[in-house]
């Protein structure tokens, strides 16, 4: 009797273990599936965005406080696509007038810290700066430096969550978890439309799974018959009630920029 009981207990525990194993295996398989699908969506979106070789943009940032008071910032950006490493970028500030002529050069490296130089026109000085400041505010806006940096696949891990309607379109919803150091986010949730893999909305979460900010990407236009780009982006900060509107005047692709347009001499003469 005691033996039988013992055996029953043993059998029950073995069954429990097997069930647990089976369950965990299947959920693991689902996890792998979801991760693979999340990665595939990110890769497809990246593929559709790459091959632009180089680009230049003109934009206005409208900083809006809680009471709706606005301040405008104007800048120009140039980017050079790099295949062996992260992209190169130059940002030239035109407004406010006291920072006019200030320019920033960035060689991004994915998981490694970026190389970054700042040109200060009043002193004619080029300063190498730390790129650790990922979560800090860009120009006093609701965009953080990491929101403005170039996308590299290895910067996140991915997980497909679900499909759902987003406006008139249907979207893939995936979770991206930053893998680079010093991010201000624990995770982000991103909506890509199924038609063109364009990012439509991004939710940014901080510690304790708190929703910090929401980015909405609007007015997509097709350039060079190939590249979809949003003409308007709005970042809403849920913590402070402040928001920033980023309006693009133009995108130009394949304008013939070279490495020489992204060195320290070019930084000094950026204007």
Among 37, 48, 81, 99, which residue sits at the site for other proteins (rule: CB under 8 A)?
99
Kindly provide the residue ranges of all beta strands, DSSP E only, lying in 132-242, ordered along the sequence: 156-166, 169-178, 187-193, 199-205, 211-223, 227-237
Interface characters, 181-200, with other proteins (x: CB under 8 A): -x-x----------------
Nearest-angstrom CA–CA distance, 2 and 9: 10
User: Could you say whether residue 110 binds other proteins (CB under 8 A)?
Assistant: no
User: Could you say whether residue 269 binds other proteins (CB under 8 A)?
Assistant: yes
Residue from 135, 129, 132 nearest 147 by CA: 135
Residues 53-92 that bind other proteins (CB under 8 A): 58, 60, 62-63, 65, 70-72, 74
Residues 127-166 that bind other proteins (CB under 8 A): 127-130, 132-133, 135-137, 140
φ, ψ dihedrals at 145, nearest 5° = -55, -40
Nearer Cβ to other proteins, position 10 or 100?
100
Nearest-angstrom CA–CA distance, 30 and 105: 42
Nearer Cβ to other proteins, position 35 or 94?
94
Nearer Cβ to other proteins, position 54 or 193?
54
Nearest-angstrom CA–CA distance, 133 and 99: 20
- Among the listed ranges 115-123, 171-179, 195-203, 221-229, the one in contact with other proteins (CB under 8 A) is 115-123
Nearest-angstrom CA–CA distance, 228 and 226: 7
The verdict on whether omega for the bond into residue 81 sits within 30 degrees of 0, i.e. cis, is: no
Among 31, 51, 96, 241, which residue sits at the site for other proteins (rule: CB under 8 A)?
96
Nearest-angstrom CA–CA distance, 246 and 72: 10
Nearer Cβ to other proteins, position 79 or 200?
79
Q: How many residues bind other proteins (CB under 8 A)?
A: 45
- Residue the block writes with tokens 């995108």: 251
Q: How far is the CB of 165 from other proteins (least distance, A)?
A: 32
Conformational region of residue 7, where left means phi above 0, alpha means psi within -120 to 50, and beta covers everything else: alpha
Residues found near other proteins in the complex (CB under 8 A): 58, 60, 62-63, 65, 70-72, 74, 95-101, 113, 115, 117, 123-130, 132-133, 135-137, 140, 182, 184, 247, 249, 258, 260, 263-266, 269, 271
């Amino acid at each position: 009797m005691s033996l039988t009981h013992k055996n029953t207990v043993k059998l029950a525990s073995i069954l429990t273990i097997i069930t647990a194993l089976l369950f965990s295996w299947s959920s693991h398989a689902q996890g792998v599936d979801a991760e693979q699908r999340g990665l595939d969506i990110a890769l497809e979106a990246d593929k559709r965005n790459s091959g632009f070789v180089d680009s230049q943009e003109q934009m206005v940032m409208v900083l809006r406080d809680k009471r709706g008071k606005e301040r405008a910032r104007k800048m120009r950006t140039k980017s050079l696509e790099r295949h062996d490493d992260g992209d190169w970028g130059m940002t030239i500030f035109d407004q406010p007038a006291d920072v006019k002529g200030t320019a920033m050069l960035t060689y991004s490296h994915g998981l490694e810290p970026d190389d970054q130089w700042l040109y200060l026109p009043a002193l004619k000085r080029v300063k190498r700066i730390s790129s650790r400041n990922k979560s800090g505010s860009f120009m006093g806006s609701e965009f953080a430096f990491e929101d403005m940096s170039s996308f590299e696949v290895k910067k996140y891990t991915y997980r497909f969550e679900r499909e759902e309607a987003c406006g008139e379109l249907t979207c893939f919803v995936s979770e991206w978890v930053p893998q680079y150091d010093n991010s201000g986010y624990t995770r982000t949730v991103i909506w890509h439309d199924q038609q063109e893999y364009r990012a439509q909305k991004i939710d940014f979460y901080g510690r304790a799974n708190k929703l910090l900010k929401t980015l909405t990407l609007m007015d997509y236009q097709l350039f060079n018959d190939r590249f979809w780009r949003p003409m308007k982006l709005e970042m809403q900060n849920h913590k402070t009630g402040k928001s920033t509107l980023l309006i693009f005047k133009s995108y130009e692709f394949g304008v013939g920029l070279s490495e020489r347009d992204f060195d320290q001499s070019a930084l000094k003469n950026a204007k």
